[in-house]
Every structure is written in structure tokens, then in C-alpha cells.
């Protein structure tokens, strides 16, 4: 009754079970009869009504931005508010605030649309990049695959086997062949991206190649710049022939360069220069690779002593069974902590490792023929890529996704995605899965002929703008630029996501969100304070 006395309210109607089909039909009938220019619904679960409001808008010719749904049921749940009069006041206040916002809300103009360039740019020709390129090209879209090195393949080409016994090199060779033969894939090697501009649906990029610059128009971008072994400069690596990384040990075992039958002992040190202040993350592949090499060594020489100095064994997923196999094969695992790392010296060029065994509670000393170091993974050099595409990295140098749970492969900047080791440390299966997921996200844009901007975007009142440019640096989506010729701040409505960061930092109230101007927001505050 109190809402009905408001000068802008034409009619207040009570409808039972508005969320049911019958209730919604009744709402549509009432809207068709009264022809309102604003609609306010009090119901439960407002998020469920978003598609319904669009349907209602089309039926009565009203923009969905001039409708709103308010949750009036949550305050009535037992235990939320005990006093029934307080419940009534809260429900009324919620409705009055929404009504005040609707009264001052302006209709939003027709959405800006972009014609989608139905092609993709994939930066990085490793496992992730080639998998993503194949997934997109198989849907009939053109792909430009850019690789900085002279050949496709990346670091995965050095792997000779997986812990499960698969042949990754054969997989990589087949992928490389597919890239060169696929009719929808254009491969550029010895090339790098030098320039890129545009928004989701329409980017223009330029690549520097040995044959001169190449340009490419594309609707989406996938950054699969990969990673590499972490650098290790300790324990005689690159100085002593008896010290090597786990990957080098794998290569020597597979090629036969290492005579395993003549070895008297092998030692491995895990997490070296990893999971510490220098590199705080786990690389996810080191323990599995060590276990793989242990089983390969034991297969060729069952009596070979193998000592593994570790902090934690991280054989992810279903790989724990291989750790059990390695222990049954006779490998000795000796745990150490970060404050008391193993020490390495050399006697007649042979490594001697000294460490404290927490089980024996005393120092142990082993002399071996080979020392293998697990140095972990590091992301590729992406400083230029960050600047060119306007995307961030996290503290560890990997690309920073928009949201780890809901948008794990998207950047805040729409139309750009990441996968593989460029995103985070992962094994081969995880790399393939992330690349296919990134391709799936990209196909959402490529499958559309046009895309629309967000309905709520920021705009600039130029008469109040002092060109302080605080909003430019505050925008997390790169949607604001300075037009020096016209001396004004411009907003890219495709990039803008309506987050309001620009409005929060503007000292002159020159920046506002469309549909959230000062007057309706102040009216909503007044409505909230009415009961007080």
C-alpha cells in the first residue's frame, strides 16, 4: 500500500508463485494491459529472472534496463530477522530503493556491435599452441600460428616417454605435420608479434618475419608462449659431466649415451631452486619425471642404488602408483627440509651428497656416479607480449587469468586467452586439456557473426573532465584512452565491462556508469534512509 502511494507507481499487483509458468504468464498479461514504462518485480532468486526480463521486454517493447527484480524473500527466512515489523520495513526499503533507481534510469541506446573477424591468432608453436590451433582450424576457421623458434614443437619435443609409457615425441611429430598440412592453418616460424590492436571480435596484428612484416586480422587471440626448464647454476651443473638435469638424464638413458649397467649409484635432488623464496610454486612435473627416470634405470640395472633427496613427493592424480613401484624397485627416498638442504662435494669428479636423514636422525653420505637435479619449470619471456596485448602476469611470471574458478583461461581483456605452461605449470595431459578449453572459449566468439558490448558501460562528461588520466590507469580492461588531438578521454565500449573503477577514482564526477547516474543513486540512498 505504501508503494502504491508513490507518484510514479501506476499499479501494485500481488501474484502468487511468480516464478512458475502460470505466474509469469500473468505478469506478461498485466504488462500488456497497462503498458508501463518501468517494471519492478519483488520475488526470490533475482538472477533467475534475467532471461525472463529480456523475454518480457520483447513482448511489451520495453528495454530490460528499465526493469528490475528485488529479493524480498530472504529477509523472511527463519532466523534472519525475528521481528515481523522489521521484516516488513526491510522488504519495503529494498523495493523503495529499486523504485528510486528505476525512476531516474535512462533507456540505454541500442548496443554497439562488432562484426567478428572469424579467424584466430595463436602465439606459440608448442604442444598447447598446436593443440589450440588444431581445435579451432578443425571447426573451419583460419588460424595463424606464430612461433619464435625456427621449428614447431617447443620443449615437449625433448621428452622421450611419459610415466604411463606413452610416446610424446611421436605425438609432437604428428602435430607438427598436421600444422603444416592443415588447409586452415598458416604457420609462421622465426617470427614474433610486433604489434596488435583491437577488441574482441576484431584485432589487427603485425608479425615480424624473415620475409618481412605480415599482418593478420583475427577475432580472437590465444597466448601459448610455453615455458622451459628452470636455470640451475649449483652443484657443478655445466661444469661437472656427472651432474645433469632430470631432462638431460632422460635423454641420455633413451639414447643409450649413459651406460646404466656400469653405474655404481645415482642420486637425485628434488625441488632444487623451487618452492622457495626464489620460485615459490610447485612445477607439477619434477617428481613424475624423477619417478620415470628411476623406473627406467631400474629396468636396465635392477641392482643399481638410487637415492632421492626430496621435500615432498608430488605425483599428481593417479601417478601415485608409480611412486609405489619405484619404492618397491629399491629406490631410497631421503627427506630434507628447506632449512637444511643436501650439500654436494666432489671426489675424483664423482658427486658426494651429504644430508640429514630424519628417519635415522643422523647425517648420511652417499657417493654416486650421476647426480640429477630437478630444477622445475619457468614461464617463457613474455615482457613484449604483455605490452603488445595489454595482459598481466602474476608474481611468478605466468599469465594472470581473469578469475581462477569462473574464467580460468580468459584474460580480463575480452577475446584473449591463455593455456599451457604460459598459464601455469602443468603436465602433458593438463596442457592438452587447457589448450582445448581455450579453443572452446575462443570458438564462442568465432561462431558469432557479431558481438555486442556490455549494456552497462562507462561514459565521460567532458565538460567536467580535467584530463587527470586517473581513470585510464584504474581501468583493468584497458578500455580508456586519451585522445590528445581532441583533448578528451575516450571509452572503448566493447572493452568496458562496467566495473565502475573509473568512476570511483574520478575526482570531478566526470566519469559515470550509464544507468547509474548520480541522481538515481542519491534517490536510492534517500529511500534507504526513509525509515530512519
Task: Convert the pLDDT of each residue in 367-398 to its tens digit.
Answer: 999 999 998 899 999 999 999 998 999 999 99
Query: pLDDT of 323-335, one tens digit each?
Result: 999 999 999 999 9
Q: How confident is the model at residue 79 (pLDDT cuts 50, 70, 90)?
A: low
Residue 422: is it exposed, middle or buried by C-beta count within 10 angstroms (0-12/13-18/19+)? buried
Query: pLDDT of 221-257, one tens digit each?
Result: 999 999 999 887 777 777 888 999 999 999 999 999 9
3-state DSSP percent of the chain in helix, strand and coil, to 5: 35, 25, 45
Query: pLDDT of 163-215, one tens digit each?
Result: 998 999 999 999 999 999 999 999 999 999 999 988 889 999 999 999 899 99
- For residues 254 and 372, give the distance between their C-alpha atoms in angstroms, rounded to a whole number: 15
pLDDT at 277 over 90: no
Which neighbouring-strand residues pair with 365? 354
Give the 3-state secondary structure of residue 281: coil
Contact partners, residue 373, CB within 8 Å, separation at least 6: 232, 234, 235, 237, 243, 244, 245, 246, 268, 269, 272
* pTM exceeds 0.85 for this model: no
The pLDDT, as a whole number, for residue 148 is 95
HEC string for 225-271: CCEEECCCCCCCCCCCCCEEEHHHHHHHHHHCCCCHHHCCCEEEECC
pLDDT at 87 over 70: yes
Q: How confident is the model at residue 78 (pLDDT cuts 50, 70, 90)?
A: low
Give the 3-state secondary structure of residue 471: helix
**For the chain, what is the mean pLDDT?**
89
Query: pLDDT of 461-489, one tens digit each?
Result: 999 999 999 999 999 888 899 999 999 99
What is the four-CA torsion angle of 8, 13, 18, 21, rounded to 10 degrees?
A: -110
pLDDT at 263 over 90: yes
Question: 439 versus 516: which is more confidently predicted?
Answer: 439
Query: pLDDT of 189-202, one tens digit each?
Result: 999 999 998 888 99
Query: pLDDT of 498-529, one tens digit each?
Result: 889 999 999 998 998 887 777 777 888 888 88
| Average pLDDT of the residues in 250-278 | 92
| Average pLDDT of the residues in 292-315 | 96
Q: 131 is written with which cell numbers?
A: 593443440
The pLDDT, as a whole number, for residue 476 is 84
**Count of residues making up the chain:** 532
Closest CA to 228 of 421, 360, 92: 421
pLDDT at 98 over 60: yes
Query: pLDDT of 11-26, one tens digit each?
Result: 888 887 777 778 778 8
| Average pLDDT of the residues in 103-125 | 83
- For residues 439 and 222, give the distance between their C-alpha atoms in angstroms, rounded to a whole number: 8
Closest CA to 341 of 234, 228, 233: 234
The pLDDT, as a whole number, for residue 80 is 57
| Average pLDDT of the residues in 353-363 | 94
Contact partners, residue 245, CB within 8 Å, separation at least 6: 229, 232, 237, 372, 373, 374, 375
The pLDDT, as a whole number, for residue 55 is 78
Amino acid at each position: 500500500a505504501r508503494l502504491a502511494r508513490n507518484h510514479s507507481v501506476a499499479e501494485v499487483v500481488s501474484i502468487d508463485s511468480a516464478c512458475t509458468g502460470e505466474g509469469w504468464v500473468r505478469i506478461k498479461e498485466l504488462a500488456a494491459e497497462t503498458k508501463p514504462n518501468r517494471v519492478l518485480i519483488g520475488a526470490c532468486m533475482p538472477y533467475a529472472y534475467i532471461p525472463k526480463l529480456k523475454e518480457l521486454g520483447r513482448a511489451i517493447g520495453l528495454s530490460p534496463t528499465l526493469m528490475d527484480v528485488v529479493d524480498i524473500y530472504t529477509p523472511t527466512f527463519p532466523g534472519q530477522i525475528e521481528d515481523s515489523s522489521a521484516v516488513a520495513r526491510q522488504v519495503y526499503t529494498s523495493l523503495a530503493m529499486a523504485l528510486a533507481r528505476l525512476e531516474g534510469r535512462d533507456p540505454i541506446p541500442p548496443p554497439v556491435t562488432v562484426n567478428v573477424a572469424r579467424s584466430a591468432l595463436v602465439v606459440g608453436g608448442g604442444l598447447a599452441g598446436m593443440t589450440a590451433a588444431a581445435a579451432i582450424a578443425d571447426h573451419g576457421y583460419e588460424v595463424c600460428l606464430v612461433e619464435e623458434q625456427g621449428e614447431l614443437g617447443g620443449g615437449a619435443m625433448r621428452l622421450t616417454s611419459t610415466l604411463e609409457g606413452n610416446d610424446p615425441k611421436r605425438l609432437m611429430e604428428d602435430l607438427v605435420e598436421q600444422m603444416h598440412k592443415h588447409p586452415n592453418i598458416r604457420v609462421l616460424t622465426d617470427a614474433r608479434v610486433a604489434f596488435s590492436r583491437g577488441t574482441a571480435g576484431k584485432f589487427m596484428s603485425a608479425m615480424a618475419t624473415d620475409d618481412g612484416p605480415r599482418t593478420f586480422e583475427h577475432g580472437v587471440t590465444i597466448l601459448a608462449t610455453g615455458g622451459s626448464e628452470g636455470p640451475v647454476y649449483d652443484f657443478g651443473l655445466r661444469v661437472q659431466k656427472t651432474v645433469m638435469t632430470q631432462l638431460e638424464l632422460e635423454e641420455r638413458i633413451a639414447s643409450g649415451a649413459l651406460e646404466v649397467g656400469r653405474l655404481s649409484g645415482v642420486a637425485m635432488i628434488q625441488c632444487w631452486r623451487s618452492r622457495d623464496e626464489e620460485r615459490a610454486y610447485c612445477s607439477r612435473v619434477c617428481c613424475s619425471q624423477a619417478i620415470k627416470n628411476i623406473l627406467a634405470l631400474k629396468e636396465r640395472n635392477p641392482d643399481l642404488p638410487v637415492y632421492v633427496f626430496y621435500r615432498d613427493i608430488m605425483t599428481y592424480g593417479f601417478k601415485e602408483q608409480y611412486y609405489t613401484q619405484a619404492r618397491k624397485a629399491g629406490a631410497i627416498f631421503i627427506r630434507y627440509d628447506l632449512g637444511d638442504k643436501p650439500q654436494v662435494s666432489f671426489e675424483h669428479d664423482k658427486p658426494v651428497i651429504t644430508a640429514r636423514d630424519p628417519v635415522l636422525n643422523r647425517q648420511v653420505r652417499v657417493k654416486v656416479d650421476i647426480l640429477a637435479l630437478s630444477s622445475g619449470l619457468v614461464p617463457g619471456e613474455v615482457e613484449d607480449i604483455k605490452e603488445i596485448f595489454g595482459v598481466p602476469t602474476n608474481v611468478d611470471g605466468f599469465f594472470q587469468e581473469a578469475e581462477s574458478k569462473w574464467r580460468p583461461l580468459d584474460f580480463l581483456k575480452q577475446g584473449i586467452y591463455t593455456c599451457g605452461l604460459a598459464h601455469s605449470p602443468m603436465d602433458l595431459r593438463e596442457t592438452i586439456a587447457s589448450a582445448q578449453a581455450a579453443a572452446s572459449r575462443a570458438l564462442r566468439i568465432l561462431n558469432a557473426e557479431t558481438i555486442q558490448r556490455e549494456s552497462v558501460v562507462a561514459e565521460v562528461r567532458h565538460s567536467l573532465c580535467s584530463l587527470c588520466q586517473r581513470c585510464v590507469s584504474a581501468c583493468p580492461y584497458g578500455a580508456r584512452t586519451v585522445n590528445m588531438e581532441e583533448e578528451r578521454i575516450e571509452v572503448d565500449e566493447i572493452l568496458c565491462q562496467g566495473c565502475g573503477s573509473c568512476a570511483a577514482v574520478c575526482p570531478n564526477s566526470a566519469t559515470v556508469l550509464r544507468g547509474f547516474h548520480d541522481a538515481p543513486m542519491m534517490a536510492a540512498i534517500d529511500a534507504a534512509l526513509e525509515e530512519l
